[in-house]
Structure 1
Amino acid sequence: MTGAGASQNRRPPRLNHKKSRAGCRRCKARRVKCDEAKPACGGCNRHNVPCVYVVNESPRTGSNEASLSPHTTLPIDQLQPNFKVAVNQVPTPPTINDPVATDDLLDLPETRQRRLLELGLWHNYVTVISVPFQPSSSTAILPQIWNNHMPQIAMRHDNLLYIIYALSATSLLRNAPEDAELLTAQRVYLSLALRDQQKALAQFHTQAEEADALCFASILMTMNAFGSLQERVRHPYHPPTDMLRLGIGACAVYEEALKSARKFPSSKIVTFIENQPFFCSIPRMFDEEHRGPFVGILGPKNAQGVYEDSELWNTDVRQAYEYTLSYIGTMYTAVLNEENLHQICTRIAAFALYVPKKFVDMVEELRPRALVVLAHFFALATKGSAHWWVGQTPMREVQGLRRIVPLEWQRHMRWPLVMSGLEPV
């Protein structure tokens, strides 16, 4: 990019500073001093980027006995290494919506107004949000999970309860976008859900219902993140990397909890994924054959089978593009095979869970190829517009990406524009 666009994305000079032990991840990565302000530090506010703090590890407490009771709470430093990574990848609230005041993150006071608000949010979930999930008779168990099992689990696990409230508020805001009470509820309950997701993972007992709550909360967080895109300002346009980064953190939690859930025959999340074609296809999701229709974005290879574009000579970069395009290829196949709306929307929500972190980094850097690939995802996501949390968001994102993709890459935008209905065939 040139001119004003380039100046806006140019990094400021690094400054000498005394190391900050409790600073946010971005400041640590950039090796600049963090003022440690909450919920977002001054540097992240200035650059208008997500501010994520590393969760402090709890000190060792209690007995050092070799065997632990199934109900013993494990300190975070005694968790499996992957669980400790997953805890630190749960985004620090808030990441998707405007910041909420620190006081709002405290437990909400018990008032009649709050009880009525939560009753309304619960009623909307049961009567509106969960109703469309009515797949074919071969997967009749899924409506039971959405309408019955998930609410029951939520009554005992606040991380799932709060994200249900946040998702319901996001749903209601479609018809009342200026409702101050709903806007506050959306932000506060998302923040509480993220906070309690961290707590639940740090105190994980490896029981079936706890794993179910962690996994279902992760799935609903990605749906809520996508649904919240309907409200965002797109002038000037910036790609929705907050949504994608939340998915990366949610995936870390989901995958680790799922490993434990598989040990229990009673697990609802295992039943949930075994009855959906998308989850059954995950082992081969990134195979080369799936990206066939979109290899033109990667450009030609030379006689030795190496891509001619030097950007793709870096292994991490090349694999990030290839894996993302393979995922998009599975979405394209699903559309061609006329999968039902529920399954298409499952693939849309799961994109943020499985997209490589390196790809999200490249989108944030506004690399033209990454922007074009993202446009292809949103173009296919328009096929789920009948679901409220998808709506017109994909089409608007394609329009926004079109505005910032450089001229020399615009030819690759033709397919997304046609698929989105923004240009004639």
Structure 2
Amino acid sequence: MLHLRLLHQYNTHTVQSFTDAFQLEGFKSEVLRLEVPSLAFQHHYLMDALLSITLLHLASTDPSPDLPVTTYRDRALRQLRHQVENVSADNARPVFMASLLLSVTALAADRHTGYEGIWLTNWLAMAIGPRIMIDGQRKHVSLRPTPLRRVPLKHAAPVAIPLDLEDALRMDEDDEDWEFREDLQRAASGIGRLFGSLVCPTCDSCVAFKVRSWPFVFVSSKFVDMARQLRPRALIVMSYYLPFFHWFPKVWLYDDVAILEMEKISAAVGSEWAAPLAAPEVAVRVKDTSLLKDFLLGLVSRECLQDEKSFEGFI
């Protein structure tokens, strides 16, 4: 009976919550509503992923201690790890779908399971999976044509890394983070592009899209490893991403993420790194969009925002 209840919940409510939150149209909505359930009946790990995200949605809207929130997700993750190692033309698409569903709901999963670590590290790790698989999948299966983006990502805009973040990333060759400097700098350059998008007139409608794209475009597996090891520089980079959760959809997937994660990051890095964390600690508590933009832009060099010769595309 629980399976039937969850399948009904998925088709009538959960899919709609994704469609509304991410403004999905056309085949993207159809994939969630029709193709995912169809393939789920053929691939158990995808069915477990579907049931998992539906349980999380149900727990977020109608909390009940009797809901087995972790059961299906844990099973889906175990099976998915095995499938990823054996991707073929037969399983490439359902593997990708399961990976995407689990990554999108990673933050909500950590919240409802009471995970005490930094949720963002798991979310970033899960986000890397679908990104890597997009290229790998092309070897095995033809993807549906993707409509032209309504969001321009290649137009030139400022790359304005906050000054305190730049200071935190400076290091000598004998620093223990030296071997990871390129991973740190790439993640920080993505943060700089998010800050720059706040002043670009053509970006007004696409800040949210760019914010959601940051993990997929700028975060490496080495960066995630650093974050999981609680290395301060990686956590500080992440702290400057947290204020941009203001531009995420106000839905069950992201409830209270920014403030809760900032508190955990502050506790993890210690007083030695308090200075670069001071600004994002304030920013995550600003609720007004206009005030938040002004505050964030006050953290970067004005020259970076005005020197058009240094502007770059998001990707």
**Higher relative contact order (CA closer than 8 Å, sequence separation 6+):** 2
Secondary structure (helix, strand or coil) at the match of 2:21 reads coil
Structure (1 or 2) with the larger CA radius of gyration: 1
What secondary structure sits across from 1:179 in the alignment?
coil
SS in 2 for 1:370: helix
The equivalences for 1:284-363 within 5 A come to 292-294=160-162, 296-299=164-167, 307-310=170-173, 315-334=178-197, 337-339=203-205, 343=209, 346-347=212-213, 351=215, 355-363=219-227
Residue 99 (structure 2) pairs with residue 218 (structure 1): yes
CA-CA distance at 1:196 after TM superposition: 3.6
Does the Cα contact within 8 Å between 1:214 and 1:254 map onto a contact in 2?
no
Q: Superposed, which structure 2 residues align to 1:192-207 within 5 Å?
A: 192-206=75-89
Match 1:143 to one of 8, 29, 40: 29
Q: Which residue of 1 aligns with 2:240?
A: 376
Please give the secondary structure, in 1, of the residue aligned with 2:184: helix
Aligned counterparts of 2:103 and 2:240: Cα–Cα separation in 1: 19
Partner residue in 1 for 2:298: none
Question: 2:56 matched to 1:170?
Answer: yes
Q: Secondary structure at the match of 1:398?
A: helix
Distance 1:308 1:128, change over 3 A: closer
Shift of 1:141: 4.5
Mark the CA change 1:422 to 1:126 in structure 2 (over 3 Å): closer, same or farther: closer
Residue 229 of structure 2 aligns with which residue? 365
- Verify: 1:409 aligned to 2:273, yes or no: yes
Question: CA offset at residue 375 of structure 1?
Answer: 0.9
Q: Answer whether contact 2:160 2:193 (CA < 8 A) is retained.
A: no
- Residue of structure 2 aligned with 1:239, choices 118, 126, 132: 118
Q: Which residue of 2 aligns with 1:123?
A: 12
Deviation at 1:310, TM superposition (A): 4.8
Give deviations 1:349-372, integer Å, cap 9, x for gaps.
x62785222222322333322221
Partner deviation per Cα, 1:332-390 (whole Å, 9 max, x = no partner): 4455523358725642xx62785222222322333322221111122212321513211
Q: Which letter does structure 1 place at the counterpart of 2:204?
A: E
Q: CA deviation at 1:291?
A: 5.3
Say if 1:300 and 1:343 are closer, same or farther in 2 by CA, change over 3 A.
Answer: closer
**Match for 1:323: what amino acid?**
R
* CA distance 1:217–1:338, shift in 2 (3 Å): farther
Q: 1:166 deviation in Å? A: 1.0
| Residue pair 1:131, 1:147 contacting (<8 A) in 2 also | no
- The number of aligned residues is 285
Residue of structure 1 in register with 2:260 after alignment: 396
Q: Identify if the C-alpha distance between structure 1 residues 253 and 373 changes in structure 2 by more than 3 Å, giving closer, same or farther.
A: same
Residue 422 (structure 1) shift: 5.2
CA–CA distance in structure 2, aligned partners of residues 276 and 260 of structure 1? 28
Secondary structure of the 1:206 match is coil
Higher share in helix: 2
* Aligned-partner Cα distance in 1 for 2:40–2:146: 17
Q: 1:252, CA displacement in angstroms?
A: 4.1
- Structure 1 SS opposite 2:62: coil
Change (3 A) 1:131 1:162: farther
What's the counterpart of residue 257 of structure 1?
A: 137
Aligned AA for 1:410? Answer: A
- Report SS of the residue matched to 2:252: coil
* Residues 247-286 of structure 1 deviation map (CA, whole Å, 9 limit, x = unaligned): 445544444224434xx2xx23x527x64748x76xx9xx
Mapped to 2, the partners of 1:404 and 1:345 lie a distance apart of 24
What is the CA-CA distance between 1:149 and the residue it aligns to? Answer: 4.0
Partner of 2:44: 158
- Secondary structure of 1:174's counterpart equals helix
- Cα distance in 1 for residues equivalent to 2:105 and 2:223: 21
SS at match of 1:159: helix
Q: Alpha carbon RMSD of aligned pairs, Å?
A: 3.7
TM-score, normalisation: structure 1: 0.56
**Alpha-carbon offset, residue 322 of structure 1:** 0.6
Paired position in structure 2 for 1:133: 22
Match of 2:305 in 1: none
Aligned AA (2:3): R
Q: 1:318 to 1:344 in 2, by over 3 A?
A: closer
